[in-house]
Chains A and B, each alone.
Chain A
């Protein structure tokens, strides 16, 4: 049986503990929340299970009841960060508006999110590369998700036939790479000022120079 951490153990003998699933779910959330800090500040390599359990205030046994180990924990952390970010960005996109306006709104929301949560951004754009092949697989999966969203721009483009097939993956990969670089050199704060350039990267291939300049205005 998975036990709650020492300090949550009921002191009175015979008292019923919380239902096991509730405790586990609660612990899992708490570990993930704490692990964002630990992985972002120490780096994936520098972080130990010891750091994770002490930051999350759970026992080692509880930790291993929730995750197979450090890597498994990181994958859960990344997935959580990615899901939250996609959700947050999607919520900022106005329904039914033009594709280019949607991209602009999404990009603005993403950059603001990075400013607001630099530690989570570090997980999503930097540490994901250092955490092994499974993490990189998740990162590629998310680049493909972004690429699929960008691909809708082809419907708006007068030159669809001429666009190379790899365009969207290159844009998504290029943006992720750019954000990674900025975060690494400590420029997460103020990253919103890159909005015009990131829009140029994402939208210009479809709409051309003039329409992109108008959108950026």
Chain B
């Protein structure tokens, strides 16, 4: 079972670095967290840096595997490169903890780790550099062109991340990134075609917010890396502090303390507490939507889809009841702007649940259905406030029946609730 122990050690490192930052994790911490003996650690790794490099190698190996599979499945350089780009952003969306480790924490992990990181970037340069083969005279440009393109792409991605819209929606930048990669080899006209090519159909997405912690103090990271991370940390801290203290009692000082950032940093991202609430609310809605979309995609028929969406929603909130406390309360307690956002979100939720309704279904007045959603939110909030957040999925049959009854009548709703 040496393989299993080694895997536990690697997972422990990811967990702990995610939680405390690279500098604050010792080998003793890792050993304790993984539940292994020091001797077992020593049998596999010489020290923390070696473990770190091994974990990085795992992550980049996994990413590389998916990227290369996509590249090889593509037809021609452009199609292959595009498929690889989508594979990469999908990987980033699905592995935020790993991406943060591989892009961020690795920079604090010593010279050997830097060499590995550089190698990973060079693999992308290789893929872009193949564009030369598309030219009449491949030798007319050098590898430096590919390195330059990768630099621009890297910078462009970081700039998008800096806006703090999460890794979930990076797909939409792929056309732009492709333009950057294609243009040096095939020219503006051909590259421009990339801007009009839609993304491939979405695959199943994974959710929860795994938010990272940076090492404390001066870490010497490029500013662009830090920015995205700080904003996410502020958002995660806001949700946690609000769940503990309530909206009104939450102060910017508490949020900063929980996120381990300075007050000045807070104001670099948000003009006010309310603005931060709004960003947190939007972030929760975005993750929730990814979860419910994925669940709904597997179902056929309106009632089955409604059931799947509600189930995924309850599971989402059960996994982190603080998110329920926040999003169910923010409309009433978070301030005027976020209250308006919450009203829009309720309308959108209603439309979303009504998607795919068979023609001819009796549609109750909107006031009735919207207030139903309010009632469902009250039930969820009561359960969470009673400390039973983990049991939220137990509400599924009731919620399905409550929502569907006005549309289908009681018997139809009961039947759908039974699943």
Contacts and interface: CB of A to CB of B under 8 A. Distances in A.
Given A166-B379, A200-B365, A174 B374 contact: yes
Contact of B405 (A184, A194, A205): A205
B410 A205 contact: yes
Contact of A166 (B246, B398, B411): B398
B12 interface: no
15 contacts: A166-B395, A167-B398, A169-B375, A172-B375, A173-B375, A177-B371, A177-B375, A177-B377, A178-B370, A178-B371, A178-B374, A201-B371, A201-B372, A205-B405, A209-B362
Contacts of B374: 173-174, 176-178, 181
Nearest to B409: A209
A51 B372 CA distance: 38
Interface residues of A, number: 39
Given A175-B375, A177-B371, A180-B332, 17 more contacts: A130-B247, A133-B246, A165-B398, A166-B402, A167-B398, A170-B372, A170-B376, A171-B375, A172-B375, A174-B373, A177-B377, A178-B371, A197-B371, A200-B364, A200-B365, A205-B410, A209-B362
Contacts of B377: 173, 177
A185 B331 CA distance: 12
B414 A181 contact: no
A31 to B, nearest CB: 22
Nearest to B370: A178
Given A129-B333, A166-B398, A173 B246 contact: no
B203 interface: no
B248 interface: yes
Most buried by B among A159, A173, A198: A173
A129 B406 CA distance: 28
A185 B346 CA distance: 15
Contact of B406 (A133, A165, A181, A204): A204
A43 B405 CA distance: 37
B378 A169 contact: yes
Given A180-B332, A197-B368, A130 B401 contact: no
A103 B303 CA distance: 31
Contacts of B368: 197, 200-201
Interface string B321-352: 00000000100110000010001000000000
B382 interface: yes
B371 A174 contact: yes
B377 to A, nearest CB: 7
A201 B373 CA distance: 12
Main secondary structure of the interface of A (DSSP, over half): helix
A84 interface: no
A176 B372 CA distance: 11
A69 B339 CA distance: 27
B393 interface: no
B411 to A, nearest CB: 8
B1 interface: no
4 A-B pairs with least C-beta separation: A173-B378, A174-B375, A177-B374, A170-B375
B397 interface: yes
Contact of A167 (B248, B370, B402): B402
Interface in B376-404: 376-379, 382, 395, 397-398, 401-402
A14 interface: no
B118 interface: no
A205 B248 CA distance: 36
A143 interface: yes
B367 interface: yes
Given A162-B410, A170-B376, A178 B395 contact: no
A98 B401 CA distance: 26
Most buried by B among A162, A170, A181, A185: A170
Nearest to A131: B248
Nearest to B395: A166
B332 A140 contact: no
A50 interface: no
A121 to B, nearest CB: 15
Given A133-B246, A176-B378, A200-B364, A164 B401 contact: yes
Nearest to B413: A162
B365 A197 contact: yes
Contacts of B395: 166
A200 B367 CA distance: 10
Nearest to B401: A164
A204 to B, nearest CB: 7
A130 B336 CA distance: 12
Nearest to A185: B343
B189 interface: no
A7 interface: no
B221 to A, nearest CB: 38
B409 A208 contact: yes
Contacts of A197: 365, 367-368, 371
A101 B267 CA distance: 56
A200 B409 CA distance: 13
A157 to B, nearest CB: 9
B347 to A, nearest CB: 11
B249 interface: yes
Interface in B203-228: none
A132 interface: yes
A169 B379 contact: yes
A26 interface: no
Contact of B414 (A130, A162, A176, A208): A162
A165 B339 CA distance: 30
A178 B370 CA distance: 8
A140 B384 CA distance: 13
A167 B402 CA distance: 7
A130 B329 CA distance: 10
